[in-house]
Amino acid sequence: MRTIRDLAVLRTRVRDWREAGESVAVVPTMGALHEGHLSLVAAAKAACDRVIVTLFVNPKQFNNPQDLARYPRTEATDAALLQPLGIDVLFAPEASAVYPEGFLTKVTVAHLQDVLCGAHRPGHFDGVATVVTKLLLMTGADIAFFGEKDWQQLQIIRRLVEDLNIPVDVVGCPTLREKDGLAMSSRNQRLSKADRARAPALHAAMAEAAVVIRAAGDVAAALSAARGAILKAGFAEVEYLELRHSATLEPLDRAAPEARLFAAAWIGGVRLIDNIALF
């Protein structure tokens, strides 16, 4: 595995692979890698001859400067975790190389970015869409792997790839969870021991609401009970907890085959998100 920071070096390497007829996968990450990220790497490795993992803490997707400053940066540990997995390149560019002076372009995916996380994090999905577009074009990968943990992000990426005719297949991979149900996340590292013990309540309450809604129970009542349970468990705030269509992200008021529950909630100054399918 070679760590590359320079785009020209990356492009030469990818060109050589292509000339040898090899397929290329990319797994974009912001580092602080955990088993969830590594499951994407394993899927990429199984699908393509060559695998690039990108590591870039994208300043444009942080609407809160404190959140950006506190985001864990653990490149040496990340590289050590990736080393045994047989990937080819860790692409870790500097921010000044991704956004050089004079950078003015923004990729906006309308509508899909206005709801859920987008409604609470102004500019976040523009930042995500812009950097993912760049990473797909920089790597020239055939297949890109993303986690369902960030479901809204995955829908936005599928849309931009189609709309901009980027020649890449987007693959979504299931959310990896800790044994107690908490979705793995780089942000979990920032939880105190006590909050880490409380955090699984988010997924538990969502799973319980899903059972009620699946059985044709009242959606508003189920969501309200789940909110209550999350707050009672020690979360400071439930930012949103909603039932929506998995592809269009339109709100739903009853169970449907495409229905998904989405939530974001704050605990100990850390914002956690989760989503689960209803069926």
What residues act catalytically? 37
Binding piece for ligand AMP, criterion CB under 6 A, among 46-54, 73-81, 170-178, 258-266: 170-178
Spell out the residues 6+ positions from residue 216 whose beta carbon is closer than 8 angstroms to its own. Answer: 254, 255
The kind and range of the H/E element at 191 are none
Assess 260 for contact with ligand AMP (CB under 6 A).
no
Strand partners, 251: 244
Provide, rounded to whole angstroms, the least separation between the CB of residue 108 and ligand AMP: 19
- Tell which positions 130-149 bind ligand AMP, by CB under 6 A: 146-147, 149
Assess 184 for contact with ligand AMP (CB under 6 A).
yes
Q: Which is nearer to ligand AMP, 33 or 205 (CB)?
A: 33
Q: Which residue among 183, 210, 243, 263 contacts ligand AMP (CB under 6 A)?
A: 183
Provide, rounded to whole angstroms, the least separation between the CB of residue 220 and ligand AMP: 29
d(C-alpha 79, C-alpha 279), whole Å: 37
Q: Which is nearer to ligand AMP, 185 or 198 (CB)?
A: 185
33: burial class by Cβ within 10 Å (0-12, 13-18, 19+)?
buried
Strands (DSSP E) found in the chain: 2-4, 24-29, 50-55, 89-91, 143-147, 169-173, 237-245, 259-267, 270-277
Provide, rounded to whole angstroms, the least separation between the CB of residue 36 and ligand AMP: 2
Q: Which residue among 173, 199, 202, 264 contacts ligand AMP (CB under 6 A)?
A: 173
> Which tokens belong to 202?
């988010």
Crossing angle for the helix pair 124-139 and 7-19, to the nearest 10 degrees: 50
Assess 175 for contact with ligand AMP (CB under 6 A).
yes
Q: Which residue among 24, 176, 223, 261 contacts ligand AMP (CB under 6 A)?
A: 176
Provide, rounded to whole angstroms, the least separation between the CB of residue 68 and ligand AMP: 13
Assess 54 for contact with ligand AMP (CB under 6 A).
no
Q: Which residue among 133, 185, 246, 275 contacts ligand AMP (CB under 6 A)?
A: 185
Assess 156 for contact with ligand AMP (CB under 6 A).
no
Sole residue written with tokens 């088993």: 35
Per-residue b/e over 61-72, b at no fewer than 16 CB within 10 Å?
Answer: bbeeeebeeebe
Residue count of the chain: 279
DSSP helix/strand/coil, 244: strand
Q: Which residues bind ligand AMP (CB under 6 A)?
A: 29-30, 36-37, 39-40, 146-147, 149-150, 173, 175-176, 183-186
